[in-house]
Amino acid sequence: MSSYITEEKIGELEIKANEARQLLIEMLTTAGSGHTAGPLGMADIFTALYFYILNHDPKNPNLPDRDWLILSNGHITPIRYVSMAQAGYFPVEELKTLRKFGSRLQGHPERERLPGVETTSGPLGSGLGQAAGIAYAMRMDKKKNRVYCIMSDGEHDAGNTWESIMFAGKYRLNNLVGIIDRNNIQIDGMTEDIMPLESLRAKYESFNWHVLEVDGHNLEQFVDATEEAKTIYEKPTVIIAHTIPGKGIKEIEFDYRWHGNPPGKGPDDVWPKGEQAKKMLDELRTLGGKIRSEHQ
């Protein structure tokens, strides 16, 4: 039983996260391109960040003492856009412009186009360094706010990531929290086949980080981990969040083929392409058939 979040609040966040997944499927279907598996897997964590953990103000994205959220693996930005829209940074309707010409919702996020996007990202391996730079600068100014950096597991193939891990460890950036979306897939297959990362925990520990591992779909565990990180004063903390790619739609869970495809363009061995979006939305609205949808 967490002392940091009530069961009632967890229930609210779970409803929010389900709504986020529905908005995500709708926006990706409209866009006709984009990533499905990763964003679905991170819906719970983004919901927890935007609706419980972060100190931020959708009406004042440059709030001086805000917490900073750096998204290193920019390709999962659709779920960040959804959380931002739900939180009130921009109208939910605007989600339909994802990846379209003239949209503020670029395929990979751009700082100068959309207020609230803290940094431009997409090329992997360069987010943690930026987050560490922000954390270092905050400490120089004796600020108490915090920096969260979301990374994919796949981008731990990149040398820049490890340079930044080493840097943050050396300078004991205790205001920095890394969050790894440990879903075990990357574009070409399973991470442990492409370029083995394990033991991630031991690697981070040897670089002078405090390591926590959570079920990335258990909001209570995740909130508790971010609170524990605040008590660690001599090191940066990384939360290895074990997630299920495609979470919430059991037919596509764990399937790396859904990494880079939107509904309507995914593998058709479960559903024909034309029915993919509808089937996914039905499943989310009925919580996998447990309840009746108002759409039925």
Partner 1 sequence: MLNKNAHLVENLFDKAKVEMAPTRQGYGKGLVEAGEKDKRVVVLCADLTESTMSHWFKEKFPDRFVEIGVAEQNMATVASGMANYGKIPFISSYAAFSPGRNNEQIRTTIALNNVPVKIAGAHAGISVGPDGATHQQLEDIALMRVQPNMVVLVPCDALEAQKATVAAAFNGKPTYIRLGREKSPVFTTKDTPFEIGKAEVFREGKDVAIVGCGILLHNVLVAAEELSKEGIECMVINSHTVDPIDEKTIIEAAKKTGAIVSVEEHQINGGLGSAVAEVLSRNYPVPQEYIGVANRFGESGEHLELIESFGMGIGSIKEAAKRVLRRKALTP
Interface segment toward partner 1; rule CB under 8 A; list 13-21, 92-100, 136-144, 190-198: 136-144
Q: Considering the rule CB under 8 A, would residue 250 count as an interface residue with partner 1?
A: no
Interface segment toward partner 1; rule CB under 8 A; list 39-47, 134-142, 256-264, 277-285: 134-142
Interface segment toward partner 1; rule CB under 8 A; list 42-50, 123-131, 207-215, 226-234: 123-131
Q: Considering the rule CB under 8 A, would residue 121 count as an interface residue with partner 1?
A: yes
Residue nearer to partner 1 on the CB measure, 18 or 160: 160
Q: Considering the rule CB under 8 A, would residue 120 count as an interface residue with partner 1?
A: yes
Total residues at the site for partner 1 (CB under 8 A)? 32
Q: Considering the rule CB under 8 A, would residue 260 count as an interface residue with partner 1?
A: no
How do 147-152 and 68-71 pair as beta strands? parallel
Site residues (CB under 8 A) for partner 1, limited to 50-89: 68, 70
Q: Judged by CB under 8 A, which of 25, 37, 85, 128 binds partner 1?
A: 128
Q: How far is the CB of 144 from partner 1 (least distance, A)?
A: 14
**What's the N-to-C CA distance of the chain in angstroms?**
36
Residue 158 tokens read as: 């990149």
Phi and psi angles of residue 112, each rounded to the nearest 5 degrees, phi first: -75, -15
Handedness of CA 212, 217, 222, 224 (dihedral sign): negative
Q: How far is the CB of 155 from partner 1 (least distance, A)?
A: 12
Three-class DSSP category at 205: helix
Q: Considering the rule CB under 8 A, would residue 136 count as an interface residue with partner 1?
A: yes
Q: How far is the CB of 128 from partner 1 (least distance, A)?
A: 8
Q: How far is the CB of 258 from partner 1 (least distance, A)?
A: 26
**Residues 6+ away with beta carbon under 8 Å from 52:** 5, 9, 13, 223
Task: Count Cβ atoms below 10 Å from residue 23 Cβ, excluding itself.
Answer: 22
Burial class (CB in 10 A: 0-12, 13-18, 19+), 278: middle
Q: Considering the rule CB under 8 A, would residue 31 count as an interface residue with partner 1?
A: no
Residue nearer to partner 1 on the CB measure, 14 or 157: 157
Q: Considering the rule CB under 8 A, would residue 271 count as an interface residue with partner 1?
A: no
Q: Judged by CB under 8 A, which of 24, 40, 131, 239 binds partner 1?
A: 131
Give me the long-range contacts of 260-264 (CB less than 8 A, separation at least 24).
260/35, 260/75, 260/187, 261/35, 261/36, 262/28, 262/29, 262/31, 262/32, 262/33, 262/34, 262/35, 262/36, 263/25, 263/28, 263/29, 263/36, 264/29, 264/32
Q: Considering the rule CB under 8 A, would residue 174 count as an interface residue with partner 1?
A: no
How do 189-190 and 185-186 pair as beta strands? antiparallel
Q: How far is the CB of 112 from partner 1 (least distance, A)?
A: 6
Q: Considering the rule CB under 8 A, would residue 111 count as an interface residue with partner 1?
A: yes
Q: How far is the CB of 71 from partner 1 (least distance, A)?
A: 13
Q: Considering the rule CB under 8 A, would residue 164 count as an interface residue with partner 1?
A: yes
DSSP run (H or E) holding 79: helix 77-87
* One-letter amino acid for residue 94 of the chain: E
